[in-house]
Amino acid sequence: QVQVVESGGGLVQAGGSLRLSCVASGMILSIGNMGWFRQSPSPGKERELVAHIISGGSTNYADSVKGRFTISRDNARNTVFLQMNSLKPEDTGVYYCICDARTVSTGPTYRYWGQGTQVTVSS
């Protein structure tokens, strides 16, 4: 089994910064993609991909966070980070870490989710 644990959320004023961390642990053979989704409290808004990074380092960001957020990872520690700068009230939400991992050498890759960490940006 794989456990994914996020940390670093909190309350910050608009224009401020936060850094999220996420560690994957367990019987992990390899990890491909790691990243962050967020769920806005706005009614009807779907969970959206914020950023992801593959093991080789290539990254992808949602248009709404480009230039403000930076994703990085430490492959040796199965850890992914999300540096969030110039935060806006619309960045408020629960941020979920994802980890696409393989636990058996001949098995498939599964997506594992963290429990989420709350980010609140006040205006």
How far apart CA 56 and CA 118 sit, in angstroms, is 28
Model confidence over 57-80: pLDDT tens digits? 999 999 999 999 999 999 999 999
Model confidence over 76-86: pLDDT tens digits? 999 999 999 99
Mean pLDDT of all residues in the chain? Answer: 96
Contact 8, 66 (CB under 8 A): no
pLDDT of residue 104 exceeding 90: no
How far apart CA 99 and CA 102 sit, in angstroms, is 10
pLDDT of residue 18 exceeding 90: yes
How far apart CA 29 and CA 104 sit, in angstroms, is 7
